[in-house]
C-alpha cells in the first residue's frame, strides 16, 4: 500500500508527460472520484481502465508518467492516486476563473457545482448587456466587461472562459491575454488567434453533434442494409490464387 505522505509539488505536464496522457488524466480522475464515492479503497488497473474506457496497458503507461505503478496483486490506492493525478493537473490549488458572457451558456457554467470540487473558483462574471449587468447569477453579481482588466488583477485570474457570441470573442480574448491570462476555454464558434505561450481549449458543441450525426447515419444505413438483406458483393477469387501448385 502506498504511503499517505505527500511528496513535494511537481510541475506536472512540464515534466515530460505526453499531451495525449494529459488529456486522459481528467478521465481517470473522474473515474477515481466515482470509485472513492462507492467506498472502494484499492482498484486493479483492469477495473480502472474499464471504468475510464481505455485499455489497461495504456492506463498503466499513463500512470507510470506520474510515478505510480501500483502493487502487483493489490492494484492502486484510490485516494493516493486521486492526489497524484490532481497534483499533476495542478488541482491541489485553487484556480480563479472569470466567465465572459452571461447568456444561457455562461449561466449554466456558473451554476455548475463541479468546478469548486475540482479546484476552480468562479471569481467573476462579465457581460456588456445592460439588461444583464447587475443581475445575480450563482451568488455572483454580473459586472460590466469594461472592468475586465481590473477583475483579472483583483482576483489574480488564471483562466478565462469565453461564452460570448463569435463576433466579440476575439476582442475579449485579446483583452484577457493583454491582462495576463494565459489559459482560455473558448465556447465561441471560431478559432481564436493568440500569441505564443497562451493555451486555448476550444469547445464546440455543434461540431460534436455533427460527428455524432455522422455515426448515427452510418449505423442507420448499415441497419437498413442488413434488414433488406443487402451485402457488399464478393469479388470472385483470382484464379492464380486458387489454382493448386
pLDDT band at 123, cuts 50/70/90?
A: very high
Q: Say if pTM beats, i.e. exceeds, 0.75.
A: no
90-99, 123-132, 232-241: which range is least confident on average?
Answer: 232-241
- Rounded Cα distance, 148 and 228, in Å: 61
List Cα–Cα distances, 92 to 8, 9, 86, in angstroms. 12, 9, 6
- Rounded Cα distance, 124 and 104, in Å: 16
The 10s digit of each residue's pLDDT in 147-199 is 999 999 999 999 999 999 999 999 999 999 999 999 999 999 999 999 999 99
DSSP string, 202-232: E--HHHHHHHHHHHHHHHHHHHHHHHTT--P
pLDDT of 70 strictly over 60: yes
| Chain region(s) in the chain for CATH 1.10.10.10 | 12-89
The CATH label, of 3.30.470.20, 3.90.1200.10, 1.10.150.120, 1.10.10.10, for the domain at 12-89 is 1.10.10.10
Domain 95-202 in CATH: superfamily?
NAD(P)-binding Rossmann-like Domain (3.40.50.720)
Number of neighbouring beta carbons within 10 Å of residue 155: 15
Q: What is the mean pLDDT of residues 57-78?
A: 88
pLDDT of 238 strictly over 60: no
The 10s digit of each residue's pLDDT in 133-143 is 999 999 999 99
Which cell numbers in the block locate residue 32?
A: 477515481
Residue 16's pLDDT is 84
State percent of the chain over pLDDT 70: 85
Amino acid at each position: 500500500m502506498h504511503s499517505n505522505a505527500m511528496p513535494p509539488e511537481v510541475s506536472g505536464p512540464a515534466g515530460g508527460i505526453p499531451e495525449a496522457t494529459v488529456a486522459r488524466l481528467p478521465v481517470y480522475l473522474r473515474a477515481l472520484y466515482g470509485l472513492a464515492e462507492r467506498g472502494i479503497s484499492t482498484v486493479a488497473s483492469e477495473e480502472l481502465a474499464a471504468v475510464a474506457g481505455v485499455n489497461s496497458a495504456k492506463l498503466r503507461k499513463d500512470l507510470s508518467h506520474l510515478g505510480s505503478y501500483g502493487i502487483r496483486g493489490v492494484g492502486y490506492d484510490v485516494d493516493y492516486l486521486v492526489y497524484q493525478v490532481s497534483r499533476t493537473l495542478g488541482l491541489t490549488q485553487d484556480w480563479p476563473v472569470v466567465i465572459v458572457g452571461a447568456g444561457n451558456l455562461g449561466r449554466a457554467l456558473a451554476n455548475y457545482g463541479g468546478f469548486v470540487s475540482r479546484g476552480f473558483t468562479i471569481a467573476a462574471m462579465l457581460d456588456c448587456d445592460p439588461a444583464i449587468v447587475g443581475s445575480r447569477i450563482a451568488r455572483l453579481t454580473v459586472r460590466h466587461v469594461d472592468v475586465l482588466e481590473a477583475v483579472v488583477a483583483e482576483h489574480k485570474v488564471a483562466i478565462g472562459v469565453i461564452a460570448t457570441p463569435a463576433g466579440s470573442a476575439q476582442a475579449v480574448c485579446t483583452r484577457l491575454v493583454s491582462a495576463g491570462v494565459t489559459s482560455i476555454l473558448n465556447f465561441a464558434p471560431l478559432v481564436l488567434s493568440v500569441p505564443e505561450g497562451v493555451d486555448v481549449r476550444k469547445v464546440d458543441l455543434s461540431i460534436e453533434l455533427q460527428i455524432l450525426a455522422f455515426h448515427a447515419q452510418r449505423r442507420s444505413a448499415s441497419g437498413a442494409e442488413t434488414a433488406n438483406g443487402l451485402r457488399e458483393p464478393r469479388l470472385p477469387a483470382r484464379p492464380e490464387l486458387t489454382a493448386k501448385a
